[in-house]
Amino acid sequence: MKTRFLMEKVNPQGYAAMAGLEKSVANSSLDPRLKELIKIRASQVNGCAFCIDMHTKDARKYGETEQRIYALNAWRETPFFTPSERAVLALTEAVTLVTEGHVPDEVYEEVRSHFDEAATAEIIMAIVTINAWNRIAIATRKMPVLQHPSA
């Protein structure tokens, strides 16, 4: 497989708008590790290899553990995530898979039991943004770069 084209070169205006949305997420008050969990989990659900590669590396930079990264796709089956993280992961999956039942009230209410309205809005924007990035990367077949073990 090879990359079809680089969106940032072919459509710089659209790409700049996406980058602005990403900057808003980056500047949010959410814990950086939580933002990376959102990005990894949505990317796993969507099957976006480029974004999984990028955000697992970013998560490690923020101090995320290998154990939690490896277990993220089975988060319901592990004791590794806090109740608030579990609520956010459930919301991430509901928003990412919105055609499979929309966002159930109980999923939303569980997030609200841990986060105020402003933080909930930031969480939703983080989920929406990574889903948009996933769709750009998947549609253009953006490829992760293989790192050799000695790197």
Maximum CA extent, the chain = 48
With a cut of 50, which residues of the chain have pLDDT below it? none
CB 48 within 8 A of CB 99: no
What are the structural domain ranges in the chain?
11-140
The torsion region of residue 125 among left (phi > 0), alpha (psi -120 to 50) and beta comes to alpha
Whole-model pTM: value is 0.95
Sign of the alpha-carbon torsion through 90, 96, 102, 108: positive
Which two structure tokens, joined as six digits, stand for 51?
A: 């974004």
Q: In CATH, which of 1.10.3720.10, 1.20.1290.10, 3.30.70.330, 3.40.50.1820 is domain 11-140?
A: 1.20.1290.10
Whole-angstrom Cα distance, residue 137 to residue 106? 31
Whole-angstrom Cα distance, residue 6 to residue 15? 10
